[in-house]
Amino acid sequence: MIHADITISLDGFVAGPNWAPGRGLGDGGERLHYWVFGGPWSYENPSFDGERNPVDAEVLAGFHDAGASIVGRGMFEAAGRWGDENPFDSPVFVLTNRVTDDLPTAFTYVTGAEEALERARETAGGKPIAIGGGADVIRQYLRMGVVDRLGIHIAPLVLGAGTPLFDGTFQADLDLVGCRHSPLATHLTYDVRR
């Protein structure tokens, strides 16, 4: 099973405008992930005092079932390379077009989507494979026709501009199989029909 998960705004953006290194979610984009952190956070003040809503906590707990994960270099950099330590319970493959000697060794770097998927399958040992952001990475795997389940987490905000999840290059039928919500997000789960 291959599942992809991403958070979007009500108007379909995974990041606000003016993305830059150290501001990977763009202007106002931090609000997209309030559900992940249990409340407000910002690049300037990344700590938070909130407690996650039980629904949001349950959704996040499901991410730990993966036997391997694939993320894009943009997400990896936006997350501050997770402090050079893998924060997940399984290996992480970073899809990138540039592998440099200064990258942390806690992750595996691959230059092609097919290679990343092949290596993740070898590593996962039959467990699910998680595809994380950004939007370009998820779109690649959706176009390849390998995603079985798509999780879209809708934050209750309008960004007005930024990076869209869907850009017209993916076409498939989606069957809604789950819907949960908290004050900070609506969590939709779809099976991807090919």
135: nearest Cα among 79, 75, 177: 75
Assigned token pair, 158: 């309008």
Between 11 and 76, whose confidence is greater?
Answer: 11
Strands 129-131 and 149-154: unpaired
pLDDT digits (tens, 9 = 90+) for 38-93: 888 777 776 666 788 999 999 998 888 899 999 999 888 877 788 899 988 899 99
Let me know: does 46 contact 93? Beta carbons within 8 Å.
no
Of 29-33, 119-123, 147-151, where does mean pLDDT reach its minimum?
Answer: 29-33
3-state secondary structure of 70: strand
3-state secondary structure of 175: strand
Query: What is the average pLDDT across 105-112?
Result: 94
Residues making up the chain, counted from first to last: 194
Q: What is the pTM of this model?
A: 0.91
| pLDDT value at residue 157 | 95
Assigned token pair, 77: 């950099």
- Structure confidence at residue 105 as a pLDDT band (50, 70, 90): very high
* 127 Cβ contact partners less than 8 Å away, ≥ 6 residues apart: 65, 66, 67, 68, 90
Phi, psi (degrees; rounded to nearest 5) at 150 = -125, 120
- Structure confidence at residue 181 as a pLDDT band (50, 70, 90): very high
| pLDDT value at residue 95 | 95
Superfamily covering domain 2-193: Dihydrofolate Reductase, subunit A (3.40.430.10)
Phi, psi (degrees; rounded to nearest 5) at 158 = -115, 120
pLDDT at 9 over 90: yes
| Exposed e or buried b per residue across 58-84, where buried means at least 16 C-beta atoms within 10 angstroms of its C-beta | ebeeebeebbbbbbbbbbbebeeeeee
Let me know: does 90 contact 120? Beta carbons within 8 Å.
no
Q: What is the rounded CA–CA span in Å between residue 32 and residue 190?
A: 20
pLDDT at 36 over 70: yes
The DSSP output letter for 23 is: B
Between 172 and 155, whose confidence is greater?
Answer: 155
For the chain, the structural domain boundaries read 2-193
- Structure confidence at residue 6 as a pLDDT band (50, 70, 90): very high
The mean pLDDT value of the chain amounts to 90
- Contacts of residues 103-107 at CB distance under 8 Å and 24 or more positions apart, as own/partner, are 106/82, 107/76
Between 22 and 151, whose confidence is greater?
Answer: 151
